[in-house]
Amino acid sequence: MLPDQIIEGDVLIENGIIKKIDHHVFVSDSGRLIDVEGKYVCPGFIDIHVNGGIGVDFSNANLNDFLKAVSFHNSHGTTAMLPTCVSSPIQKLRSFLGIVKEAGKRNPSVLGAHLNGPFVSTKRAGAMKSEYVLKPSIDDLNMIIEGFENVLKIMTVAPEEINGIELIRSLLSRGIIPSLGHSDASFNDARKAYECGLRHFTHFYNAMRPLNHREPGAIGFGLINDDMTMELIVDKFHVHYAMIQLLLKLGGLSRLCLVTDATEAAGMPDGKYMLGGIEIIAKNGVVLTKEGVPGGSSLTMDRALANFIETSGVELLQAIKTVSENPARLLVIMDRKGTLEEGKDADLVVLDSSLHVCLSMVEGNMVFSNGLKVL
């Protein structure tokens, strides 16, 4: 599946890189041949917001458990990800960043971290402990990321808070993507953040001031500015299908990054789980706190893609961009990931006609296979 078309052909991989894409690519006797006839070979999925899975909360995991959860998401087509931590005490955030750094050395699908807080709004904290939410502070930011400046890739912030704009400027100066989320920002608050460089939203629509015809809020600002990108949780609960279609009617396909916001409930039966120290309850594909507040999801990226196609009517060739090309562009890694092109990392996912994952490959290494023939 090339960026602009689906072709019948072969993919040659050498030393973790896509060497050639063409019809009848020659494979030497020393190479392995994987038979994917009748299936889709797609760019690997990139999840920029994932809290855990298979009974593991990334924010509290040791390295071995952390890597088990990473492998679980690999098996669902995610070949690059930003493990995510909600608002937590500063020392816990530092421990989390340290684990992410080590995990990235063991599994190259771990690109870095997303901190979903702590500089957010207590009014829109959602499934976070309010005592862990901090007022924006450059000093506290320095304490959190000292020694991990290259690990943190995205930080969710509430720009309306005092010193919120200064925090956004500081993040940008360090090459960290500020993302508006868990915020009660007004339209003008969002505009000020935009004017200083913010261009991304954390789980758009959710944990934000609702859209209103007299005060459009950050949602309204995002809808009318087509150079802003949005995370979107498509689990048929977080966002109504009509609001997804509204984004698309406004030319939003290139702006959308599907995310899971998966918790440790992903891949597990219904029951009680944890998210950053808060009990969450998973039931029938929906994850809530005991107070009924949305608490992440049990989603995987392959299911998010299938749900998006079902609810939006977008065909696979275009929909695949929301889980690959768009997040790669946001992270400024399009030179090596995000599309199937010669010279890029061999991050691949093979899907059958029902969009089930048959194979996942990270930098040429097979990290998951489900019954494909290797000749």
- pLDDT above 70 (res 29): no
pLDDT digits 0-9 by tens, 132-146: 999 999 999 999 999
Asked if residue 139 belongs to a domain, the reply is yes
pLDDT recorded at residue 28:
47
Please state the rounded mean pLDDT for residues 43-49. 98
- pLDDT above 80 (res 43): yes
The letter for the amino acid at 324 is S
pLDDT recorded at residue 375:
64
pLDDT recorded at residue 2:
64
pLDDT recorded at residue 34:
85
Asked if residue 201 belongs to a domain, the reply is yes
Asked if residue 86 belongs to a domain, the reply is yes
Q: What pTM value is reported for the model? A: 0.96
- pLDDT above 70 (res 25): no
pLDDT recorded at residue 362:
97
- pLDDT above 60 (res 27): no
Which pair of structure tokens corresponds to residue 7? Answer: 């072709």
pLDDT recorded at residue 118:
98
Asked if residue 351 belongs to a domain, the reply is no
- pLDDT above 90 (res 244): yes
Band of residue 35 on the pLDDT scale cut at 50, 70, 90: confident
- pLDDT above 90 (res 24): no
The enclosing domain of 115 has a CATH number of 3.20.20.140
pLDDT recorded at residue 70:
98
Asked if residue 1 belongs to a domain, the reply is no
Domain interval for residue 195: 43-339
Asked if residue 29 belongs to a domain, the reply is no
Asked if residue 30 belongs to a domain, the reply is no
Active site residues: 261
Please state the rounded mean pLDDT for residues 49-54. 98
Asked if residue 153 belongs to a domain, the reply is yes
Distance CA 281, CA 55 (A): 13
pLDDT digits 0-9 by tens, 60-105: 999 999 999 999 999 999 999 999 999 999 999 999 999 999 999 9
Band of residue 1 on the pLDDT scale cut at 50, 70, 90: low
Please state the rounded mean pLDDT for residues 4-19. 85
pLDDT digits 0-9 by tens, 289-343: 999 999 999 999 999 999 999 999 999 999 999 999 999 999 999 999 999 999 9
Please state the rounded mean pLDDT for residues 9-13. 86
Give the total number of structural domains in the chain.
1
Distance CA 230, CA 342 (A): 28
